[in-house]
Structure 1
Amino acid sequence: MQYPVTVSVDTHATKVRSIFREEGFRTIPVVSENRLEGAVTRGDMMNISSTKSNIDARGIMEKPRVIATPDMELIHLAREIMKAGTVYAPVVESPDNMHLVGIVTVADILRKFLYNGLKPDHETLEGIVTSNVVTCNYNDLISHVWKRMDESGYSGLPVMKTGKIIIGIITRMDIIRSRHVRMGFESDSEMQGSIMVEKVMKTPPVVVTPNTPTREAGEIILEYDIGRIPVVENPVYVKK
């Protein structure tokens, strides 16, 4: 568990955006006198419409899907986070006391499991990979990719070229940090300087193969601070 950077309910949205861009956080808890009120995610920031850009954190925050307490067992918390389809859980004093004491992320849980030598159910990635992968093309517009992320719930998409050849990856943070896009938008016409994915994506991508040991894949995810890692056959580039 770590104590997170927080913002107050009346922090302006532009200040929250600045913190995301500079610090790279995935989630920022919103508090009122250190009482947990909600949280702002990267997705919340990008979904602000241009007509509502003068709002504060109170107007864009979401209710955390999972809230933990210090006495909660880690394996139980991990299951709750996975079930909720989220990547974090604020930690409060107790169910009756919403005083914020920290935050636990998927990365924290993975790091703890690896440190404790927890043995994965699958030795390699072959039996646990997601086969129906949501991707984008290098020449897609950023606006289209953002909508695809929002609809799919994935914060990062492999970037493809010529069929099934992966050449990069693009994440919500890449888009937020890009100076080519505004904080929020409602349609393509409202975007300033809408550009193609190839101008923002990271390349070469960090990838693994189906035969990569599960533990090694976890270590790579932690090393590069990434939420998803493409699994490929016969990689041209394996960035390590």
Structure 2
Amino acid sequence: MSIPKFVATKDMDAFHAALEMIRLDEWYIPVLKSPQDYTHVGVLGLENPIGAFLGRDAAKLSRPLSEIMSTELITCSPEDEVDNIWRLMREQSFAGLPVVKKDKLIGMVTQKNLLDSGVILPAFEAKRGRFKARPKYPR
């Protein structure tokens, strides 16, 4: 697990959030309720501001993130088994997932984190890997 390079709040200006994402080469960022309240409320993907721009609705870029972010949250918790997280990332084509405990963002887990830790993809270990319970998603 790692700390996200950039975390936005739902009231942040979409244009500035998109610029920071491009500067940091981040495709997705978690969106929190406020700088003081780490409640995870959404995810902003670069496709959100780019879609607004290409859809000739550039006015959306000056609005708060809460108007363009995705609120269907797919997350994992520190208690989830690694092979379940791998499976979810593979099935959903995610490069990473927000790690949430009691609705508060505590970090991000990425495929790179898992590879660096030496964890093997469950598909290579066995047909289904160890499977107990699926991560909790969507909310």
Q: Normalized against structure 1, the TM-score is what?
A: 0.44
Cα RMSD, aligned residues only: 2.2
CA contact (8 A) 1:65 1:84 kept: no
Aligned length: 116
CA contact (8 A) 1:65 1:86 kept: no
The alpha-carbon deviation at position 73 of structure 1 amounts to: 0.9
Higher relative contact order (CA 8 A, sep 6+): 2
Q: 1:69 to 1:81 in 2, by over 3 A?
A: same
CA contact (8 A) 1:36 1:98 kept: yes
Between the aligned residues of both structures, percent identity stands at: 19
**Unaligned 5+ runs, structure 2:** 125-139
Q: Within the alignment, does 1:99 sit opposite 2:104 as a pair? A: yes
- 2:85 aligned residue: 77
Q: Within the alignment, does 1:23 sit opposite 2:21 as a pair? A: no
- 1:110 aligned residue: 115
Q: Within the alignment, does 1:89 sit opposite 2:93 as a pair? A: no
- C-alpha distance in 1, partners of 2:27/2:70? 13
Q: Within the alignment, does 1:67 sit opposite 2:75 as a pair? A: yes
- C-alpha distance in 1, partners of 2:73/2:95? 10
SS for the counterpart of 1:53 is helix
CA contact (8 A) 2:99 2:105 kept: yes
Moved more, 23-32 or 57-66: 57-66
- C-alpha distance in 2, partners of 1:102/1:78? 16
SS for the counterpart of 1:109 is helix
- 1:38 aligned residue: 42
- Structure having the higher Rg: 1
Q: What are the Cα deviations for residues 45-72 of structure 1, in whole angstroms up to 9, with x where unaligned?
A: 2111324222111111113552100011
- C-alpha distance in 1, partners of 2:61/2:26? 20
**Unaligned 5+ runs, structure 1:** 122-240
Moved over 3 A (4+): 118-121
- C-alpha distance in 2, partners of 1:87/1:64? 17
